[in-house]
Chain A
């Protein structure tokens, strides 16, 4: 299918939309129910504080507000109009019609029809599929397949994905002319902190719509019966932590089984005067098996590395489940032994904690496929860069320059993050990741060069490159470019394959053992 896309038109529409994206007026915000739980006295102050993160946005009928599989940092409150939530898997573009739009109205060329369709992942170096992309369906339990799900004025949507940084579970489309209040993540968090009612409202929605799926996504609870999951859902406590906040302290009584819902948690152990990092937990990971199995005190300190959302399950409930399902106990014993072993290894050899610490400090913990170059064997021949350029029409997608850690170079190349923040603010949906794959890719024809993704990438791994085209005003068109793991190369990333000395490797920072073994 040939796709004709008018980049200039997209850019004009985006700039027009950007011009309208001003903080919402106080008079409009004050009567909204999302502020009703904020104490009367503090309401104006809170509104003033969060206002810069609140925008009133309009959509035409048929525009896409959210697209399944994307990442979003916003929740939406419907001020006026109706949206339709499309059932997961039904896709956003009706009838296969390619309709590039400024979002709402994400550009959507179906994956298989893109010029760079992804070949099968078999026999590739450093590429493959991932099970880290968790899409939690936030569909109401009462939803009947085939039925249309419409949300009307006063409803909120998108908050679960935004708070937990899960991929958007369903495409949301304007059913009629629509006015929404876009609530960006900082505002969402501030509102939750200032209004118990709002937090309770969001927690209840998470508990009823997503927690069951979340529990099911954890291997430990996957085989449980619906009734047991329901029981856990009702008993769960939902906790939020600020960056740096201690979640649990080593040596204190362990009163809960903790499940990470969003964010990263550092696991450390006290050794003399220092805290040694043992590992880190990410969404879907859990802690507290020692309390369950042997009634131990917390053997570690858990500390939030960023905004962290935790689901705390009462020990006695989980213990009751274990009695009924001894297999789960075996898995927990294995986990506990592995963690105690890691703890022992770190206390015996504190230097090994350095790798974990480095991974946390540099942000590599987010990486699903991080390019590392062993400088002690690299002859600086640039074959990796040439290989990359050969695979991308002469334009390399990474720079062999970056942070040096011991004998390793961490080049300026996309880490293919578990939760790609670069995908959160793309006005045309040009940057995307297919659910279940590693590679975050940029669809060049629909990139308008707004540089939102480049600005969003905390590691500066997206580069703006002149495309050779000129805008009507004579300025050069700069488009975002980044490593796509050589999507079209059946052999996988060229940088690794073309390194004559095996110095270039790609590793996932999900498994700290792999990281330690590679780096040491």
Chain B
């Protein structure tokens, strides 16, 4: 899949609406800053702070979509709202901070966590669009993440059965070179860069051994290659589905920290 396809929005209308509203925020900011001094503690400045907080609170409500997806009717609507309102919240933060660098650790913390949460969310959106297409277009096998170790074990058993009673040459090759590759799931970050990368190189020993065995056993090697390819595809699934599950670690805990900082920030503003 081309990167440009993954960057294309599923619902362009939502993107355009977000851009229009963001532009409106900026225009309001420019007009207000032109009329008088901009302050995050009053007027439009304070308003944008409240807006950012409200949007962050809405973002944190994402898990509430279950079990009935109310009030947005479908989980798809929820995620669209989550993505675009999240981006809008970051724009509101920038407007609130007068588009200037913060002073003090609290300000830096708020800005940094806002940026990180938004950026990690958008990176997640990219991964969620790019990985499924890559898995589907490039691999023939489809598997449930939790079942992959079990499926790998069954491929190993299949290969063991296939190699029973073979010649010494083939049997030795299987024991020493092929079997170790089939024994367990081998996740790798390299699948993220090239999902089929290294496959030809990995198949080279299988092709080489074919030269040293008789015709009757060549079919067995072909079958072994088929099993190996399936296993490699299972590895790729395990790696990339794992990324799809784990990227949230980079998004959710920072978002929770951001909310804690926002709470302290608001409490500080109210008390002092």
Residues of A within 8 A of B (CB): 125, 375-381, 383, 386-387, 390-391, 400-401, 404, 407, 409, 489, 491, 494, 496-503
Whether B67 sits at the interface, judged by CB under 8 Å, is yes
- Of B73, B75, B132, B241, which contacts A499 at CB under 8 A? B75
User: What are the interface flags for B69-103 relative to A under an 8 Å C-beta threshold, 1 for contact and 0 otherwise?
Assistant: 10001111011000000000000000000000000
Contact B244 A380 (CB under 8 A): yes
CB-nearest residue of chain B to A385: B144
Residue contacts A-B, CB under 8 angstroms, 19 given: A375-B135, A376-B137, A379-B128, A379-B131, A380-B244, A381-B244, A386-B66, A387-B66, A400-B144, A489-B68, A497-B73, A498-B67, A498-B75, A499-B75, A500-B65, A500-B79, A501-B10, A502-B74, A503-B132
Q: Given known contacts A497-B75, A501-B79, A501-B128, is B145 in contact with A380 (CB within 8 Å)?
A: yes
Residues from chain A with Cβ under 8 Å of B244 in the complex:
379-381
Contact B69 A391 (CB under 8 A): no
Give the Cβ gap from B63 to chain A, nearest Cβ, in Å: 11
How long is the Cα–Cα vector from A503 to B131 in the complex, in angstroms?
14
How long is the Cα–Cα vector from A391 to B244 in the complex, in angstroms?
25
- Of B74, B142, B245, which contacts A125 at CB under 8 A? B74
Residues from chain B with Cβ under 8 Å of A381 in the complex:
244-245
Contact B136 A500 (CB under 8 A): no
CB-nearest residue of chain B to A409: B142
Whether B218 sits at the interface, judged by CB under 8 Å, is no
Contact B74 A377 (CB under 8 A): no
Q: Given known contacts A500-B75, A500-B79, A501-B76, is B142 in contact with A375 (CB within 8 Å)?
A: yes
- Of B74, B136, B145, B241, which contacts A376 at CB under 8 A? B136
Whether B155 sits at the interface, judged by CB under 8 Å, is no
- A-B interface, 8 closest residue pairs, ranked by CB to CB distance from nearest: A390-B67, A500-B79, A375-B136, A500-B75, A376-B136, A502-B76, A376-B133, A498-B75
From residue 34 to 92 of chain B, which have CB atoms closer than 8 A to chain A?
A: 65-69, 73-76, 78-79
Give the Cβ gap from B202 to chain A, nearest Cβ, in Å: 24
- Of B67, B129, B145, B241, which contacts A377 at CB under 8 A? B129
- Of B69, B137, B142, B241, which contacts A498 at CB under 8 A? B69
Contact A491 B128 (CB under 8 A): no
How long is the Cα–Cα vector from A309 to B171 in the complex, in angstroms?
57
Q: Given known contacts A376-B137, A379-B244, A380-B244, is B132 in contact with A500 (CB within 8 Å)?
A: no
How long is the Cα–Cα vector from A387 to B136 in the complex, in angstroms?
24
CB-nearest residue of chain A to B142: A404
CB-nearest residue of chain A to B128: A379
Residues from chain A with Cβ under 8 Å of B137 in the complex:
376, 407
Residues from chain B with Cβ under 8 Å of A494 in the complex:
67
How long is the Cα–Cα vector from A466 to B76 in the complex, in angstroms?
33
Dominant secondary structure at the A interface: loop
Contact A390 B66 (CB under 8 A): yes
CB-nearest residue of chain B to A383: B75
CB-nearest residue of chain B to A375: B136
How long is the Cα–Cα vector from A502 to B79 in the complex, in angstroms?
10
- Of A379, A386, A409, A491, which contacts B69 at CB under 8 A? A491
CB-nearest residue of chain A to B1: A376
Contact A497 B69 (CB under 8 A): yes
Give the Cβ gap from B142 to chain A, nearest Cβ, in Å: 5
How long is the Cα–Cα vector from A498 to B241 in the complex, in angstroms?
19
User: What are the interface flags for B128-150 relative to A under an 8 Å C-beta threshold, 1 for contact and 0 otherwise?
Assistant: 11011101110010101101000
CB-nearest residue of chain A to B143: A401
Residues from chain A with Cβ under 8 Å of B136 in the complex:
375-376, 407
Residues from chain B with Cβ under 8 Å of A502 in the complex:
10, 74, 76
Residues from chain A with Cβ under 8 Å of B78 in the complex:
500
Give the Cβ gap from A463 to chain B, nearest Cβ, in Å: 15
Contact A377 B133 (CB under 8 A): yes
A375, A386, A401 interface centre (most CB from chain B within 10 Å): A375
Q: List 10 other contacts, CB 8 Å, given A497-B69, A501-B10.
A: A375-B142, A376-B132, A379-B132, A380-B145, A390-B67, A497-B73, A498-B74, A499-B74, A499-B75, A502-B10
How long is the Cα–Cα vector from A379 to B131 in the complex, in angstroms?
8
How long is the Cα–Cα vector from A377 to B132 in the complex, in angstroms?
6
Contact B74 A497 (CB under 8 A): yes
Give the Cβ gap from B244 to chain A, nearest Cβ, in Å: 5
Give the Cβ gap from B225 to chain A, nearest Cβ, in Å: 21
Residues from chain B with Cβ under 8 Å of A409 in the complex:
142
Give the Cβ gap from A518 to chain B, nearest Cβ, in Å: 16
How long is the Cα–Cα vector from A401 to B140 in the complex, in angstroms?
14
CB-nearest residue of chain A to B79: A500
Give the Cβ gap from A110 to chain B, nearest Cβ, in Å: 28
Residues from chain B with Cβ under 8 Å of A489 in the complex:
68
A391, A400, A494, A502 interface centre (most CB from chain B within 10 Å): A502
Give the Cβ gap from B164 to chain A, nearest Cβ, in Å: 29
How long is the Cα–Cα vector from A375 to B67 in the complex, in angstroms?
23
Q: Given known contacts A377-B132, A379-B128, A390-B66, is B73 in contact with A491 (CB within 8 Å)?
A: yes
Give the Cβ gap from A496 to chain B, nearest Cβ, in Å: 8
Residues from chain B with Cβ under 8 Å of A378 in the complex:
132
Give the Cβ gap from A65 to chain B, nearest Cβ, in Å: 42
How long is the Cα–Cα vector from A66 to B10 in the complex, in angstroms?
51
Residues from chain A with Cβ under 8 Å of B128 in the complex:
379, 501
Give the Cβ gap from A55 to chain B, nearest Cβ, in Å: 41
How long is the Cα–Cα vector from A32 to B111 in the complex, in angstroms?
90
Give the Cβ gap from A190 to chain B, nearest Cβ, in Å: 42
CB-nearest residue of chain A to B134: A376
Give the Cβ gap from A409 to chain B, nearest Cβ, in Å: 6
Residues from chain B with Cβ under 8 Å of A401 in the complex:
144, 147
How long is the Cα–Cα vector from A359 to B132 in the complex, in angstroms?
24
Contact A498 B145 (CB under 8 A): no
Contact A391 B67 (CB under 8 A): yes
Residues from chain B with Cβ under 8 Å of A400 in the complex:
144
Residues from chain A with Cβ under 8 Å of B76 in the complex:
499-502
How long is the Cα–Cα vector from A491 to B241 in the complex, in angstroms?
30
- Of A375, A387, A491, which contacts B132 at CB under 8 A? A375
B75, B131, B135, B137 interface centre (most CB from chain A within 10 Å): B75
How long is the Cα–Cα vector from A494 to B145 in the complex, in angstroms?
21
Residues from chain A with Cβ under 8 Å of B79 in the complex:
500-501
CB-nearest residue of chain A to B124: A379
Residues from chain A with Cβ under 8 Å of B74 in the complex:
125, 496-499, 502
How long is the Cα–Cα vector from A257 to B131 in the complex, in angstroms?
52
Contact B66 A380 (CB under 8 A): no
Give the Cβ gap from B221 to chain A, nearest Cβ, in Å: 26
How long is the Cα–Cα vector from A491 to B76 in the complex, in angstroms?
14
Give the Cβ gap from A418 to chain B, nearest Cβ, in Å: 27
How long is the Cα–Cα vector from A378 to B136 in the complex, in angstroms?
9
CB-nearest residue of chain B to A499: B75
B132, B135, B144 interface centre (most CB from chain A within 10 Å): B132
Q: Given known contacts A380-B244, A501-B76, A502-B76, is B67 in contact with A387 (CB within 8 Å)?
A: yes
Give the Cβ gap from A366 to chain B, nearest Cβ, in Å: 23
CB-nearest residue of chain A to B82: A500
Residues from chain A with Cβ under 8 Å of B144 in the complex:
380, 400-401
Residues from chain A with Cβ under 8 Å of B10 in the complex:
501-502
Give the Cβ gap from B252 to chain A, nearest Cβ, in Å: 14
